[in-house]
Amino acid sequence: MRRERIAAGKPADPPEPFLPYAAAIVLAENIPDYLPYIVKYTQILNETDEVHPIDTSKLDRYFDGLKLIGQTAGTGGREAKLWAIFTGRALALIIRLNNDTYDGTVEKAVRQLHQFIRLIKMGKKPSIEHGVNHSTEIDDLKAECERYRSDESLMDKWRERYAEIEGDL
């Protein structure tokens, strides 16, 4: 992987995750849980072996949040990253299928979506409840989340950081 990154003009190692778990929670609050939708769409594709057009126009607005959550650091970060990265990839694949920009067969898309579903399930959508499993300081976590909800400039700082490193990911 390091050689592939270098060949692509990127650093050998990707940048370290940087997003605090509390910021991931706040971002995730605005993103629906798409797993049931992804599972159902995959079942339909598998049963019919054809793309059934759906309105995907509302999905684009969640990609920035999913990308940023994919950079969650620290305890709980691994599960948050799995949830965000593979939810984003599954939604992007569904969009490409619906826009006729997918290069593979429906069968290949179903296999990919099944893989994404498995990986989404290995992750966890960031939440206070999940944060409790990783932190005994629930009041501190709640206070930090409230700070991010009330001060958008704090979230802008993380968005700027992501924009700085995006090409190196």
Segment 16-41, tens digit of pLDDT: 999 999 999 999 999 999 999 999 99
- Residue appearing with tokens 């995907």: 56
The alpha carbon of 19 is separated from its chain's Cα centroid by a whole number of angstroms, namely: 13
Mean pLDDT of the chain: 92
The alpha carbon of 167 is separated from its chain's Cα centroid by a whole number of angstroms, namely: 17
Angle at 35 between CA 113 and CA 145, to 5 degrees: 130
Amino acid at 130: H
18-35 as b/e, with b when 16 or more CB fall inside 10 Å? bbbbbbbbbbbeebeebb
Question: Cα(91)–Cα(37) distance, rounded to whole angstroms?
Answer: 10
> pLDDT band at residue 132, thresholds of 50, 70 and 90?
low
Question: Cα(116)–Cα(31) distance, rounded to whole angstroms?
Answer: 17
Q: Please report the pLDDT score of residue 118 as a whole number.
A: 97
> Model confidence over 76-119: pLDDT tens digits?
899 999 999 999 999 999 999 999 999 999 999 999 999 999 99
Cβ(97)–Cβ(89) under 8 Å? Answer: no
pTM listed for this prediction: 0.88
Residue 54's nearest CA partner among 3, 91, 4 is: 91
Kindly give the residue spans of alpha helices, DSSP state H, lying in 76-127.
77-98, 106-122
> 72 in helix, strand or coil?
strand
> Model confidence over 39-57: pLDDT tens digits?
999 999 999 999 989 999 9
Q: Please report the pLDDT score of residue 139 as a whole number.
A: 86
